[in-house]
Amino acid sequence: MGATLRGRDATRPDSCRLIQISDLGNDGTFRNEDFTRIEPNEPINPSLYLRQGDILFPNRGTRTTAAILTHTADNILAGAQFFVLTRKSTKVIPEYLAWTLRTTEASRFFASRRKGTLVQTLQRFHLEEFPVPLPSLAVQRKILELADLEREARLLEIRLAALRATHLEESLLNAARQA
């Protein structure tokens, strides 16, 4: 679990940086990489600081996403609304695990286990129960390559649709001016 900070601990500047749920996009990327700066009143247990390659997975709300910390900066904490997964085996690539946690299958799995009416939550054992397919490292890399290509294609399609809309609008305005 991430760190729980309350009161002045959550608002004093400069000693640490805190990743909050609002920093995480649905696609597993960080919306803002200039995380909130805080200075806790009490020393932080060093084991709570994130390390490069840690995976953050929200344990509150309805989003099923996972993000990998790629920062090399020191003193970054995850808020208590995250589970923090640290790789302990060389049989899985962290990016592959994060991708698996963002799949539609994972979304269905976790949606069926969330509890709560106002704020839905997951328990740690729900995350531990999720069946992660574990192919060879070579296959994991290929899956990641294909997933990256799919994401790139999706972004290009969005860009192309915007360009088409702009072109159509300009054509219609020109036609209106000539009429």
* Model pLDDT, residue 13: 47
- Write out pLDDT tens, residues 64-98: 788 898 876 778 898 888 999 988 888 999 999 99
Closest CA to 6 of 34, 42, 31: 42
- Based on the number of CB atoms within 10 Å of its own CB, is 118 exposed (0-12), middle (13-18) or buried (19 or more)? exposed
Structure tokens at 141: 């890399």
Distances (CA, A) of 69 to 117, 139, 160, 168, 179: 30, 23, 30, 41, 56
Is-contact 98 28, C-beta < 8 A? yes
| Distance of alpha carbon 66 from alpha carbon 99, whole angstroms | 7
* Model pLDDT, residue 158: 95
Structure tokens at 77: 């904490």
Which residue carries 């900070």 as its tokens? 5
| Distance of alpha carbon 93 from alpha carbon 134, whole angstroms | 10
* Model pLDDT, residue 5: 59
- Write out pLDDT tens, residues 3-17: 565 555 454 445 788
Residue 156 in this model has a pLDDT that exceeds 90? yes
* Model pLDDT, residue 25: 82
For 19-47, what is the mean pLDDT? 82
* Model pLDDT, residue 2: 55
Distances (CA, A) of 105 to 25, 51, 65, 102, 123: 19, 28, 12, 8, 18
